Amino acid sequence: MQLTKTGLQDLVVIEPKIFGDERGFFMESFNQRKFEELTGLSPYFVQDNQAKSVRGVLRGLHYQLGAYAQAKLVSVLEGEVLDVVVDLREDSPTYGQSYSIKLNAENKKQLFVPRGFAHGYVVLSETALFFYKCDNFYAPKEEGGVAYDDPNLNIDWKIDISTAILSDKDQKHPNFGHHKPSGVRFGG
């Protein structure tokens, strides 16, 4: 595994070591011991999720609050997405900053998204199979979101945003700054 820092505190890109030959390839997609050695972090993943979507589907920007906050290790098994995160941790030196990366089945890169980040992605290929590990269970009553088109964040989604396919919920998220009630913190 190789780790690349992103410039946003605790947000890292992980590239698994790939062993390939004429038969195909083998890779270890996750190893707790190696992850801890590389990152100094010890998430305990409790839930794996997959989502298949068509070109132009934009999901996000989502997060969970308080004791229900989630760290995620995200990757793409088929196709390509632009993965986007925003640091919502008010005590972070990178508060309010965003980061994006293309994740696809060919580069096999993974993004570790710490608790306290809003997360989303848009599908750039015909279809994409998105996979992520979470360190906390989904809690719909503790879910929030940030507007994908917030002009203050100025996120370049790499598509004509007027053609994005969005859920009703994702069309109604507030702009950044209205993302959580005062005094509520991310994490346990």
Could you report the per-residue pLDDT of 104-159, keeping only the tens digit for each? 999 999 999 999 999 999 999 999 999 999 999 999 999 999 999 999 999 999 99
Active site residue 132: yes
Please report the pLDDT score of residue 169 as a whole number: 95
* Cα separation, 100 vs 120, whole angstroms: 10
Of 62, 119, 173, 179, the active-site residue reads 62
Query: Model confidence over 44-73: pLDDT tens digits?
Result: 999 999 999 999 999 999 999 999 999 999
pTM of the model: 0.90
Taking a C-beta distance cutoff of 8 angstroms, is the pair 130, 50 a contact? Answer: yes
Of 63, 121, 132, 148, the active-site residue reads 132
> Can you count the helices (H) and strands (E) in the chain?
1, 13
Is the Cα dihedral 58, 61, 66, 72 positive or negative? Answer: positive
Q: Give the domains, in start order, of the chain with CATH numbers.
A: 44-171 (2.60.120.10)
* Cα separation, 112 vs 120, whole angstroms: 13
